[in-house]
């Protein structure tokens, strides 16, 4: 059950930084949610953070992407593994004394 942002969005910018999966991005007219990255915050929080901070309540469940909690958890695990793999592939930051 990925979430979606409706055209009632006022582009207030409060939801995007709250998403732990970086699923929210600015679309052509208003913010959008990538259903392949949205886990409804499963694995991170008890409730979707974007829904909690949205001042206009324009973030419902996306009927085109209905998923069980188990499926959302599996998606979270895939995303977490990919993020860990990407972090491991990054070169180490230079030390402060160098």
Could you tell me the pTM of the whole model?
0.85
Residue 79: predicted pLDDT = 96
In the predicted model, residues of the chain with pLDDT beneath 70 are: 93, 95-98
Q: To which H or E segment does residue 88 belong?
A: helix 69-89
pLDDT of residue 35: 96
- Whole-number pLDDT of residue 19: 98
SS (H, E, C) 63-84: CCCCCCHHHHHHHHHHHHHHHH
């Amino acid at each position: 059950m990925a979430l979606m942002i409706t055209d009632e969005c006022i582009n207030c910018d409060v939801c995007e930084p709250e998403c732990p999966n970086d699923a929210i991005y600015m679309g052509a007219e208003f913010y959008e949610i990538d259903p392949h990255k949205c886990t409804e915050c499963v694995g991170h929080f008890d409730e979707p953070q974007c829904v909690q901070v949205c001042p206009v309540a324009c973030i419902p469940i996306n009927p085109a992407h209905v998923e069980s909690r188990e499926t959302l958890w599996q998606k979270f695990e895939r995303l977490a593994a990919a993020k860990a793999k990407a972090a491991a592939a990054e070169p180490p930051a230079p030390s402060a004394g160098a």
